[in-house]
Amino acid sequence: MAKNKYSKRDLDRFRKNIQQKIDELEDNMDDLRDDLNINSKGNASLSQDSVYSVHMADAGTDSFEREKGFHLMNRETDYVNFLNLALERINSGEFGICTVCDGKIPEERMMEVPNATKCVTCKEGEKLNNPQS
């Protein structure tokens, strides 16, 4: 076994951790989707006459909350996609290996940030060299 690779037992533990995170995120997204559907149906069903009785500030708040919900959905969808890519890296044997220095990314980092593809040193170096990101 290569020095910079995780054992099968470790990879199984990572896979379980990632799948648990995906399941939690999907539950959260289902709740968000339900909230967005309820809110949009309520506003869409207002008749033309009643639109004028709704205070503009209330309509603005509703719009802001709906937009915030959509942004959160997009963010969580992106994170689920990154976690699925991490599962693919587990299957291909590339999980936990820094794409810059080919070193083994510490287990603590991989448990907290399972979609990480760089070790802390390389990630910090990247941020120092490119401060706009």
Determine what percent of the chain is predicted with pLDDT higher than 90. 52
More confident residue, 123 or 34: 123
Burial state string for 54-78 with b = 16 or more CB within 10 A and e = fewer than 16: eeeeeeeeeeeeeeebeeebeebee
pLDDT of residue 133: 52
* Three-state DSSP class for residue 103: coil
More confident residue, 42 or 1: 42
pLDDT of residue 48: 43
* Three-state DSSP class for residue 104: strand
* Beta-carbon count within 10 A of 128 CB: 8
Per-residue pLDDT, averaged over 22-36, amounts to 87
Per-residue pLDDT, averaged over 15-29, amounts to 94
Q: CA-CA distance, 76 to 47, in Å (whole number)?
A: 34
pLDDT of residue 39: 60
Lookup result for tokens 């599962």:
87
pLDDT tens by residue, 49-75: 445 456 777 777 777 888 888 888 899
